[in-house]
Amino acid sequence: MSDPIDSVVVECELSDPPEKVWRALTEPALVAEWLTADEAEPAEHEVVLEEPPHLLRLAWRDGRDVESLVTFELERTPTGGTNLKVVHTGIAAAADTTVCMLKAA
């Protein structure tokens, strides 16, 4: 059996500048629009590290009290947009919890 994957990395290029993307990641009203809009029980998060407007790391706790880290790295592109890299680590523990819950059912 192979080791479980413990992180997911997603990268994309956005046309908006890092300062605008940073606001979408940090201003509560804007975060609520994209993060918790469809969730009945939104995940809790706490800022662990922030270096505006380039790096944001959150401790993430889902409804099952499984904690992971989500890191947002923002880099200005030559055209003035943003290269956004999102790294979610610690997800193997969340997957293990889900498997245990399914086995118990």
- Domain spans of the chain? 7-104
Q: In the structure, what pLDDT confidence band is assigned to residue 27 with cuts at 50, 70 and 90?
A: very high
The topology (CATH level 3) of 7-104 is Alpha-D-Glucose-1,6-Bisphosphate; Chain A, domain 4 (3.30.530)
Which pLDDT score, from 0 to 100, does residue 1 have?
Answer: 44
**pLDDT, tens only, 44-53:** 788 999 999 9
What confidence tens digit (pLDDT) does each residue in 67-100 have?
A: 889 999 999 999 999 999 999 998 776 555 444 3
* Those residues with Cβ within 8 angstroms of residue 92's Cβ, 6 or more apart along the chain or in another chain: 4, 5, 6
Q: In what order do the strands lie in the sheet with 82-89?
A: 7-14, 82-89, 67-76, 55-61, 44-51
Q: What is the pLDDT of residue 39?
A: 60
Predicted local confidence at residue 34, as pLDDT: 74
Q: Say how many CA atoms lie within 13 Å of 39 toward its Cβ.
A: 12
